[in-house]
Amino acid sequence: MMPLLTTKGLGKSYGGLKAVDGVDFSLMPGEIRAIIGPNGAGKTTFVSLVCGRVHPSAGMIVFDGEDITSMPPHQRVRHGIAYTFQITSVFANLTAYDNVALPVQRTLQGGHGHKAVHAGVMEALARTGLAGREDVLAGHLSYGHQRLLEVAMGLALKPRLLILDEPTQGLSDGEIDGFITLVREIAGSATVLLIEHNMQVVMKLADRITVMNGGTILAEGTPEQISANADVQHAYLGTPADE
C-alpha cells in the first residue's frame, strides 16, 4: 500500500536554530499516528510544515503521491489535509453555527443552498456533541467545548488527513473519554495525525507512535515497542508526561 503522507529530509531552521532537521516520515492510510516528544522537540513545527503554515528550508512533502512542498496552505486543505490549532482559534465573535458553516460550505460540491449547509453544520455539531449550542458565540463556549468546536471544524472539511495538535490539553477527564471515542470514530473515514502530551490518550488511541527530540525522529513503533525503548525512556518518558 502506498503511504498517504511522506516527507523526505524535511527541515526548518530559524536563523541558526534547526527546529526540524532532516525528517523522513511516512504515514499509511487509515492509521492513527501519535507524535510525542518533549517541549521544543519540533512537533508543532513539523505538522505546520505538513499543513503549509510554515515553509520548509529543506526537503520535500508528498501527499497521496503528489509533491505538495510548495503548495499554499489553502490548497492543501482542499487536497484533504485539515489542521486543528494547538491554541484554540475558533472565530470567537461568530456563533458556533457560523464557525462550522465555513468549512461545510467550502466542501459542499455544487449545492451552496442554505439547506445543504444547514444539514452539514448540524451533522458536524451533533457528531462532536455540540448539538443545541449552535447559536452561542464561540467565544462564550466553555474551553472544552471550544476544543470540540475546533474538531468539528476540522471534521466538516471531510479531510483525508486530520492533524490534531494537542487536542486534549485543558480538557477534563470526562471530556477526554468522550474525545477518545470521537477520534476512533473519525479514524473510520480519515487518517489521524495527533500531537499529544497525555500518554494515556496516546496509548489508548495510537496504532503507531513517532517520538521526536531535538528536531529529529528518535524512534518509531507500536505503543508496546515505544514503551520498551530505552532511548525513549531516557529522552522523554523519564520526564513528567504533562510537562
Partner 1 sequence: MRHDGFKPAALHVAVIALLFALNFMLPDYHHGLLARIMVLAVFAMGYNLLFGYVGLLSLGHAMFFSAGLYGSGLAIYHLGWSVPAAFGAGLVSGAALSLVIGLLALRTTGVAFMIVTMMFAQVFYLSILYFAQWTGGDQGLVLQQSQRLIEVGGVTLDLTEPVTRYMAALGLFSVVLVATLFIARSAFGRVLVAIRENEERTKMLGYDTFANKLAAVVASGVICAASGAAYALLFGYVGSTLASVQYSILPLLWVLLGGAATTLGPLVGTVFMYYVIDVTSGYTSAYMLVVGIALILLVLYFPKGVLGTIRDRWVRWLP
Binding site for partner 1 (CB under 8 A): 51, 53, 72-75, 77-78, 82-83, 85, 89-95, 97-98, 101-103, 105-107, 112, 114, 117-118, 134-135, 153, 157
Residues 6+ apart with CB under 8 A from 30: 187, 191
Nearest-approach distance from CB 103 to partner 1, in angstroms? 5
Nearer to partner 1, 112 or 234 (CB): 112
Nearest-approach distance from CB 240 to partner 1, in angstroms? 31
**Element housing 232 (H / E):** helix 230-232
Nearer to partner 1, 83 or 236 (CB): 83
Nearer to partner 1, 53 or 204 (CB): 53
Residues 6+ apart with CB under 8 A from 173: none
- Write out the three cell numbers for 24: 523522513
Nearer to partner 1, 57 or 91 (CB): 91
Triad 164, 168, 171: Cα angle to 5° = 150
- Write out the three cell numbers for 207: 496504532
Nearest-approach distance from CB 106 to partner 1, in angstroms? 5
Nearest-approach distance from CB 77 to partner 1, in angstroms? 3
Nearest-approach distance from CB 98 to partner 1, in angstroms? 6
Nearer to partner 1, 162 or 226 (CB): 162
**Element housing 63 (H / E):** strand 58-63
Q: What are the strands, taking DSSP E only, across the chain?
A: 5-14, 17-27, 32-36, 58-63, 66-67, 81-84, 161-165, 191-195, 208-213, 216-221
